[in-house]
Structure 1
Amino acid sequence: MPLYKSISVNSQTTVKIWKIEESYNALLSPLNLRPESLERVLGMKSELHQRGFLSVRHLLREFGYTDQDLYYDANGKPHLKDGKHISITHSFTFSGVIISDTKVGIDIEKQREKIGIIAHKFVDYEFEYLNKDDLEYIRKLTVIWGIKESLYKLFATPGMLFREHFLVIPFMLEDYETVSWIDYKMKKYKYNSYFLEFEGFTCAYVLV
């Protein structure tokens, strides 16, 4: 299908989400990929990852960009040649792109029970307001993971740890927003954080 959802966060920031229903060939045929991008997609062992990669290029087209406008730095962070900030995500059957005049990060995650098993690896402060018996526990954990993954993509600094350096302020699922902090090397950075849920997935994104 075409574009699944488009969100105007503010006048400088837009999120676009794609539901990946097309075949690999249907996604590939309209695209003009750089040789290195084609080599990368052909080298992927999973067709699911190939389709995710290609769907992101379709989202770029929705923004008016092409694969030629995108490049990655040494840390693997994507950039646009015109200087705008971009973050990219894909998970199973959904992909997302956020583009802004300011630094941004985005993540899409499938809501799965197993996140509860690894919660101790990325949650510290947040356990103060989480309740494992809460029916919304898994959904809230998924929001926290998505926000922290988005912060990691935004800051793009090797050595940062979800559990130690990122904090998500208490939130209600129906609010669709909260505040998060990066506390790293004696400095604190505050970010507006947003999330939405659809078809068993959670999308989170952060910006200054």
Structure 2
Amino acid sequence: MPLYKTITPNSQTTVKIWKITESYEELMARVDLKPKALERVLGMKSELHQRGFLSVRWLLKEFGYCDADLFYDDFGKPHLKDGRQISISHSFNFSAVIISDLIVGIDVEKQRDKISVIAHKFIDYEFDYLDKTSNDYIKKLTVIWCVKESLYKLYCTQGLSFKAHCLVIPFSIKDKATIAWVDYKNIKSRYAIEFLEFEGFTCAYAIA
């Protein structure tokens, strides 16, 4: 399938989302992988993960890049050789990439009821305003997870905790935006967050 969605939050930043309808074979046939990336994808046990990995390389092509332009640091954070900032995510049959001149983070997740089982692991302050009986409880949990994951990718500091150091202020699903904070080692950083929903998925991205 062609590119699913393109978003331009500002003049320096672009988000692209891909809906993965292609088979593993179709995706492999049209990407040029460097040896390390090829070894990595061939070593994946799940075809779902393989397709997610390869769809990200298709998204890179949409931005005008190729796999050789991408590398990862020791923390696992992706970088582009030209110095622009990049963040990557994929979940089931969607993948997302954000590229900017600013520091960024992105996450896409499928909305699933089982997130309520692990909510206590990544939520603290947010329980004060969440209503477990509301129809949008699972959606809000998913937004909060995506926001905190995007902040984690943006901040890229070992020891950062979703629950202890990241907080998301009250928000409405229809607003498609919120404010989040990282409070880590006596430094407080404020981030404007945007999020969207599509086909049972949530995507959030943070821009520094």
TM-score interval, normalised by the smaller of the two chains? over 0.9
Q: CA deviation at 1:80?
A: 0.4
Q: Mark the runs of 5 or more structure 1 residues left unpaired by the alignment.
A: none
1:1-208 aligned within 5 A: 1-208=1-208
Q: Which amino acid aligns with 1:64?
A: G
Question: What is the one-letter code of the residue matched to 1:135?
Answer: N
Shift of 1:31: 1.0
- Count of residues in Structure 1 that have an aligned counterpart in Structure 2: 208
CA distance in 2, matches of 1:200, 1:207: 24
Compute the TM-score of the two structures, normalised by the length of structure 1: 0.99
TM-score relative to the length of structure 2: 0.99
Provide structure 2 residue ranges, at least 5 long, that are not aligned to the other structure.
none
Q: After the TM superposition, which segments of 4 or more aligned residues of structure 1 sit over 3 Å from their partners? A: none
Question: Cα deviation per residue 1:23-74 (whole Å; 9 max; x = unaligned)?
Answer: 1111111111100000000000000000000000000000000001000000
Shift in Å, 1:169: 1.0
Aligned-partner Cα distance in 1 for 2:127–2:68:
43
Cα root mean square deviation, aligned: 0.5
> 1:163 deviation in Å?
0.4
